[in-house]
Amino acid sequence: MMRLVLILIACLMAVQLWAVQPDEVLEDPALEARAREISKVLRCPICQSENIDESNAGVARDLRLVVRERLVAGDSDPEVIDFVVARYGEYVLFNPRFTLGNAALWFAGPVFLLIGGIISWLFIRRRSASAPPQDSLSDDERAKLDQLLGD
Amino acid sequence: MLSELGHIALILAFMVAIVQMIVPMWGAHKGWSDWMAMAVPAALVQFALTGLAFGVLMWAFITSDFSVQLVASNSHSDKPMLYKVTGTWGNHEGSLLLWVLILTLFGAMVAWRGGNLPDGLKARVLSVQSAIAVSFFAFMLFTSNPFVRLLNPPFDGNDLNPLLQDPGLAFHPPFLYLGYVGLSMAFSFAVAALIEGKVDAAWARWVRPWTLAAWMFLTIGIAMGSWWAYYELGWGGWWFWDPVENASFMPWLVSAALLHSAIVVEKRDTLKTWTIFLAILAFSFSLIGTFIVRSGVITSVHAFANDPTRGVFILMILGVAIGGALTLFAARAHVLKSHSVFAPISRESGLVMNNLLLVVATFVVFFGTVWPLIAELTSGRKVSVGPPFFDLAFTPFMVGLAAILPIFAVMPWKRGNLSKTLQPLWGVMALSVAFGALVWVLQTGGSMLAPVGATLGLWIILGVKLEVAQRIKLFKVPFSESWRRAVNLPRADWGKAYAHGGLGILFFAIAAITAWETEDLRVMNIGDRFTMGGYDIVLERVEDLRGPNYQSETATFALERDGIIVARMSPEKRFYPVQQMPTTEAGIDRSITRDLYVTIGDRQPQGGWAVRTYIKPYANWLWVGSIVMSFGGLLSLTDRRYRVGAPTRKAKTPNAAVPAE
């Protein structure tokens, strides 16, 4: 939670705007909805880790306005994002692009799971190699045994 | 004068810790019982001295002794008493002291209550625990001394960051630390066991309560932080996948894995090396959570250079603790032999899968958290990794976990039969899927998040209910007999039921609030009204009020349904003059199915205020789920086998002591 403290020190102190302002909202609800979705994946460049929708910083407001401007001009969502990235760098993307440089990040989960899965499987197989044969009690016998054991 | 006493107590505690680190370990090595025995009084004295130091610091905060630098820069005479007290740990130095206080408290508890622990193990555990304490005392005394005096005390203090002046955040750190430090206990037991070369059921039964307690406190701590963020930050976010949150979430995930694998060690005498490894891993993440966050290294490589002394110290502690323990692990793990066998379809296998999913999920979070750092160091690119990535990369593991949970929770140990286990669960599965489908129809398509979350949540909850019903033979025997069985069911089993049930509630809540939240943003003047979610919301008035150490602009909204006022909400905008910082206090009308959440923003140039309203469906279920989960941990912690029949090494068959499930 310290981050929140840091954010607010960084963002709040300077400018007192509360995230998206009523005057920024677009007339067309469909466009506005798209703007909000785009805003969620764009990071406020000077904040700790807030998206531009949540941020109170001036630069976040600028970005929100840019996003809306591009949308009104008829850009598609990816075009808007490209436009922002071209000016502010990859840093503003909360979702790192699927590029060669980021491949390790994106493949980390599946690769870890695969390796871990293989190790677990080998472990389980080794553990079961000398497992005793299938439980030889029939259901009736088991019920009886349970009864005797008081469970 | 008093402050110097605290300082001296801290130095003495440091000395005692050094002795306690060396003497009992050497004694255990040589088999000298008197050397080993000194660990007990030393641990108690260490705790007493640290307690004294902490008490002195707290007293300085309570009396606003501004000649102490820490108090001057983090307190103010106008601050409410509660926050003077909690301000003790609302800063770097004080929070470290709290950390060590808990560490020595846990050490003292082992010393005090560990009468039935074998002498050698106890000596080694306390010695390792003390080694951790030594590094923290050294860190504090050499780089972060809380008792530094000011030559010219200021007339008044700098005040505590207003965001920390809140009950949710005031008690958030102590709970997190209880969790982190609880994992240090598991770590100490793991290292001691590696040195001894012995891990058995009794060992597992000693480790499990600490892990359980740590997990429970982490659950509470994380939930509190989330709850605080929800009402304080003004947009009702409750999880941000922020590095600092991740730092507390990773130990939580690993401790969840650890407490499951420790069950296998305790009941089935296998998975030993893995459990030891997890114990080391869990505490490593705690240390990372404690330190890396402070050093700022995750935010930016350059922040590390701001205070090189602290940075180097932190690196040394991390290196020695994690590197040392892992080296020891590599050298000694082979002596830990497991004897029992189990079939691929068995509860053991299920718990292995649980561990696999939890640990890989942890690594995904870890990788995402440090990726900006790796990218910057390797290629100089500045990148961000945020919620969209984590949602995508992390969620599948939780879905997998939820899918297998109800099945393997009832699977027999050693060798199970999948079709037999599934037989009673088919109905539950069908019901859950039907529920998910219903949700999908009701929300008329759209995102699959809510239907999937609803299905999994119900699947877990009903699975738990079915398990308990089977255990107490509900409807199969007379009700009085079922009642008797329910009463006799070990608390650990009830704990399991509650913890799993809480998880099910969380699944549902997370999916629901994420998928169905609605928002409204507008400018309102006094007397304006609008309709949202079947309610009329009216801005009645906005007043300028004065708090003990802040100014407030408090709005009052009436919530009307069919012309009748059902609730009033008072969001505030506060301004803390000492720190020159504004904060928001949301007005929330809570109910079972939704929260109505209002915040008031700036006065607009053309008149009126920016008003932001949200309907947050099932928000309360987030906190309820967390509470139910930690209550499960508490129940399990009070299980009979931890209270009486204390773990001894004689028990040959671990199963005999505990009714087989």
| Residues 3-42 (A) with a CB less than 8 A from some CB of B | 3-6, 8-9, 12-13, 16-23, 25, 40-41
Task: Please say if the pLDDT value at position B9 is more than 70.
Answer: yes
Who among A41, A104, A151 is closest to B388 (CB)?
A: A41
Encode B286-316: b = buried (16+ Cβ within 10 Å), e = exposed.
bbbbbbbbbbbbbbeeeebeebeebbebbee
Q: Is residue B647 part of a domain?
A: no
For B269-315, what is each residue's pLDDT tens digit? 888 889 999 999 999 999 888 776 676 665 554 444 456 677 778 88
Residue B290 vs residues B99, B259, B287, B630: alpha-carbon distances, Å: 9, 21, 5, 22
Cβ contact (<8 Å) for B383 and A96?
A: yes
Q: Is residue B655 part of a domain?
A: no
For B147-173, what is each residue's pLDDT tens digit? 998 888 888 888 888 877 888 888 888
CB atoms < 10 A from the CB of B568, how many?
Answer: 13
Take residue B302 and report the two structure tokens written for it.
Answer: 């350059």
| Residues 131-190 (B) with a CB less than 8 A from some CB of A | 161, 163-164, 169, 172
B171 with B26, same domain: the answer is no
Burial class (CB in 10 A: 0-12, 13-18, 19+), B651: middle
3-state SS, residue B580 = coil
**pLDDT at site B296:** 61
B178 with B33, same domain: the answer is no
B352 with B226, same domain: the answer is yes
In this prediction, residues B243-258 reach a mean pLDDT of: 92
Task: Please say if the pLDDT value at position B64 is more than 50.
Answer: yes
B133 with B200, same domain: the answer is no
Residue B435 and residue B456 in contact, taking contact as beta carbons nearer than 8 Å = no
**pLDDT at site A139:** 66
Residue A38 and residue A67 in contact, taking contact as beta carbons nearer than 8 Å = yes
In this prediction, residues B249-261 reach a mean pLDDT of: 94
For B338-386, what is each residue's pLDDT tens digit? 777 888 888 989 999 999 999 999 999 999 988 888 888 888 888 888 8
Q: Is residue B605 part of a domain?
A: yes
Nearest residue to B625 via CA among B506, B513, B512: B506
B19 with B114, same domain: the answer is yes
**pLDDT at site A18:** 55
Take residue B338 and report the two structure tokens written for it.
Answer: 């497991």
3-state SS, residue B551 = strand
CA distance B600 to B544: 13
Residues 6+ apart with CB under 8 A from B180: B99, B214, B218, B251, B286, B287, B289, B290
pTM of the model: 0.89
B512 with B613, same domain: the answer is no
CA distance B527 to B608: 10
**pLDDT at site A14:** 37
Parallel, antiparallel, or unpaired: how do β-strands B529-532 and B572-576 relate?
unpaired
B505 with B607, same domain: the answer is no
DSSP state of A15: -
Q: Is residue B653 part of a domain?
A: no
B450 with B554, same domain: the answer is no
B111 with B189, same domain: the answer is no
A96 CA: distance to closest CA in chain B (Å): 6
Q: Is residue B643 part of a domain?
A: no
CATH of domain A2-92: 1.10.8.640
Cβ contact (<8 Å) for A128 and B360?
A: no
Helices (H), B380-525: 387-410, 418-422, 425-442, 449-471, 479-488, 491-516
For B304-324, what is each residue's pLDDT tens digit? 445 667 777 888 888 999 999
B467 with B370, same domain: the answer is no
A86 CA: distance to closest CA in chain B (Å): 14
Residue A17 banded pLDDT, cuts 50, 70, 90: very low
For B176-227, what is each residue's pLDDT tens digit? 999 999 999 999 999 999 998 888 888 888 888 999 999 999 999 999 989 9
**pLDDT at site B307:** 64
B198 with B303, same domain: the answer is yes
Residue B295 vs residues A11, B90, B139, B559: alpha-carbon distances, Å: 20, 16, 13, 46
In this prediction, residues B488-510 reach a mean pLDDT of: 92
Nearest residue to A22 via CA among B571, B233, B612: B612
Task: Please say if the pLDDT value at position A6 is more than 70.
Answer: no
Residues of B whose CB is below 8 A from A51: 386-387
Spacing of C-alpha B172 from chain mean position: 9
B100 with B10, same domain: the answer is yes
Cβ contact (<8 Å) for A18 and B584?
A: yes
| Length of chain B as a residue count | 661
**Residue B584 φ/ψ region, left for φ over 0, alpha for ψ in the -120 to 50 degree band, beta for the rest:** beta
**pLDDT at site B276:** 92
**pLDDT at site B397:** 95
Residue B433 and residue B425 in contact, taking contact as beta carbons nearer than 8 Å = no
For A32-71, what is each residue's pLDDT tens digit? 888 888 988 898 888 777 788 887 778 888 889 999 999 9
CB atoms < 10 A from the CB of A103, how many?
Answer: 10
Please report, to the nearest 10 degrees, the dihedral formed by the alpha carbons of residues A27, A28, A29, A34 taken in order. -110
In angstroms, the first-to-last Cα distance of chain B is: 60
Residues of A whose CB is below 8 A from B383: 90-91, 93, 96, 102
In this prediction, residues B563-579 reach a mean pLDDT of: 89
Residue B360 vs residues A97, A112, B397: alpha-carbon distances, Å: 22, 6, 8
For B321-334, what is each residue's pLDDT tens digit? 999 999 999 888 88
Task: Please say if the pLDDT value at position B628 is more than 50.
Answer: yes
**Mean of pLDDT over chain A:** 78
**pLDDT at site A135:** 52
CA distance B620 to B24: 49
Q: Is residue B17 part of a domain?
A: yes
From B358, B387, B409, the end of a domain falls on B409
**pLDDT at site A110:** 92
For B409-450, what is each residue's pLDDT tens digit? 888 888 888 888 888 888 889 999 988 888 888 877 667 888
Range of the domain at B304: 161-409
The total of structural domains in chain B comes to 4
Q: Which residue has the higher pLDDT, B136 or B336?
A: B136
Residue B96 and residue B14 in contact, taking contact as beta carbons nearer than 8 Å = no
Q: Is residue B130 part of a domain?
A: yes
From B409, B430, B451, the end of a domain falls on B409
Burial class (CB in 10 A: 0-12, 13-18, 19+), B578: middle
Tell me the count of A-B CB pairs closer than 8 A: 170
Q: Is residue B657 part of a domain?
A: no
Task: Please say if the pLDDT value at position A151 is more than 90.
Answer: no
For B449-483, what is each residue's pLDDT tens digit? 888 999 999 999 999 998 888 888 888 888 888 88
Residue B257 and residue B278 in contact, taking contact as beta carbons nearer than 8 Å = yes
